[in-house]
Chain A
Amino acid sequence: MTFLFDSFQSAILLVISLDREIISIVSVSLKLSSTSTLIASLVGIPLGFYIAFESFPGKRMTITCLNTLLALPTVVIGLFVYSLIARKGFLGSLDLLYTQKAIIIGQTILIVPLVTTLIIAAISRIDERYRKTAMTLGANRFQTALVIFREARFGIVAAVIAAYGRVISEIGISMMLGGNARGFTRTITTAMALEYDKGQFTLAVALGIILLGISFGINLLFHFFQGRTRI
């Protein structure tokens, strides 16, 4: 108990002192998570919108596949992307392995299904009368889609926030594709795993506190936007 208390106390002091190592790790984590969330949103929002808005053969099967992909373990994605970007892989010549780009690719694959399914859910909840009203007032398909987008805006923001929360806390992809290189691909979660291996709990606990703080902030935002959708 004393050990935990001492680690926690030292970790708090480390966070307050704005340790350079911590700042570097947190910066890398935030940068990678933000980039992969941005790319996944650029793919997932239009895709989710299209699936929810349009009728096409195989729509139900597509949604089922997306829901299945939600349960995809990060190590499976790590392994899959590794097989593509390793020297002998299909994209080996691009020399992506153990770079930030590799982590971003893996994380994007992880959260595209999440963003897409949450967007489908957000759009599907929107009252059909909005579409009908826009159409009868003379809106074309694009203008009608914009109306739906506007009405679903809080659900869309909530989807992006949920995706961000998922990537910032993942470890499998970052470890397998990033290699945990100090100051370059070391993220909060990979650094915590390393410090744990070394038996250095102070930094691990400090990073844990920061990660919890970020997750708490994200969840606060998520609940704020989720609440707004019900208004």
Chain B
Amino acid sequence: MLYSINGLTKTYHNRTVLDIPSLHIERGGIHALLGPNGAGKTTLLNILGFLESPSTGDIVYESKVVQFYESYLQDLRKTVVLIDQQPILFSTSVYKNVEFGLKVRKIPKKDRPGIVKEALDLVGMEQFLNAPANTLSSGETQRVAIAQALAVLPNVLLCDEPTSSVDIENQVKILNILKQINKDKKITVIFTTHDRFQAAFLAQHTLFLDHGQLTTAGYENRYTAFLTQKDNQQIHCRIQDSIDLLIPLHQIGSNTGKAQVMIDPEKVSLCHRDDISMNSACWEGRVVQITDEKDNIRIIIDLGVWISMVMLRSTYQKSYLLVGERVYIQIPPSSIRIV
């Protein structure tokens, strides 16, 4: 196991921005940290990169408990490199930027040019070797930042939203570079994103983070709802004037009033038109998007609010669904939980 985290919290000015009871990240793969803005992704990445210390909790890195004091962390940082969301290069040449990590590791001067050239070659930036770093575009800067990391051959490469500040052409290049270095150099890649399609394209493992906590169902299908107690057994849940559901009291407790609820997309299923009259948890909507996510197919349906559902590829193939079609779906009360 590369990282094992237990009881980790991070608090800023009495506000808990990260609360992770347990997290294990395996060596070797590409891991996506998916979540909306403000979910705590960057904070977690900074902690994994040993640039910030947690307020409480333990981190075991490569089977050793991390001691959060400077000299200990300095050694660990030599094995983990974090690339910022908008990386900044030192105001010198591209060569000197990539050479920096080698210099601080006291790599002999004669060996450095070869390593720098190889790293730049891997990211397709070898022609910029002697260019001033401040003349590069954001996509080129991102690639040089990856080369900076590659030159020192870390065990782990942490990338904070690696494609957020670059154009489409560079996005594809960067994602392919990350894929390639994971495959060829066996570097574990952990990256944050709020784009689930990017996570699906690149990552073998996806972690969902929302409001500083790991969630299982992802951060989608999250709505503001109004809860009222119907009787002793059920709570009436109204989601944005479009979806009305009755939820057993034992499932969500006696919470009433305004609340954030989440619908598990894997529990939402297709139903028949006839079910609508018989089943109060069935709705009619329109398919607005269909996405291929490896073994699963994700379908976005417009019910007045957009709701995402995930189905097996085999189920989808039998359904013959197309974008724009009318569809009937069932949202079982068990798919709803209060966030």
Residues of chain B lying within 8 A (CB to CB) of residue A150: 90-92
Given contacts A129-B84, A132-B51, A133-B84, contact A140 B104 (CB under 8 A): yes
The answer to whether B70 and A138 have CB atoms under 8 Å apart is no
B148 contacts partner chain A, Cβ-Cβ < 8 Å: yes
- In this complex, how many residues of chain A approach chain B with their Cβ under 8 Å: the count is 18
Q: Is the interface of A mostly helix, strand, loop or mixed?
A: helix
Closest chain B CB from A224 CB (angstroms): 17
B152 contacts partner chain A, Cβ-Cβ < 8 Å: yes
Which residue of the partner chain, among B70, B91, B92, B101, contacts A137 with CB atoms under 8 Å?
B101
Quick one: which of B72-97 are within 8 Å of A by CB?
74, 77-78, 80-82, 84, 86-92
Q: A-facing mask of B168-206, CB < 8 A → 1, else 0?
A: 000000000000000000000000000000000000000
The answer to whether A137 and B148 have CB atoms under 8 Å apart is yes
A214 contacts partner chain B, Cβ-Cβ < 8 Å: no
Which residue of the partner chain, among B81, B86, B91, contacts A136 with CB atoms under 8 Å?
B81
Residues of chain B lying within 8 A (CB to CB) of residue A211: none
The answer to whether B152 and A141 have CB atoms under 8 Å apart is no
- In this complex, how many residues of chain B approach chain A with their Cβ under 8 Å: the count is 26
Residues of chain A lying within 8 A (CB to CB) of residue B148: 133, 137
B105 contacts partner chain A, Cβ-Cβ < 8 Å: yes
Which residue of the partner chain, among A127, A135, A143, contacts B51 with CB atoms under 8 Å?
A135
The answer to whether A129 and B51 have CB atoms under 8 Å apart is no
A139 contacts partner chain B, Cβ-Cβ < 8 Å: yes
Given contacts A132-B51, A143-B104, contact A137 B87 (CB under 8 A): no
A-B residue pairs in contact (CB < 8 Å), sample of 12: A132-B51, A133-B84, A133-B148, A136-B49, A136-B77, A136-B80, A140-B104, A143-B104, A147-B100, A150-B90, A150-B92, A151-B90
Given contacts A127-B88, A133-B88, A231-B91, list 5 more A-B pairs with CB under 8 A. Answer: A137-B100, A137-B101, A150-B91, A150-B92, A151-B91
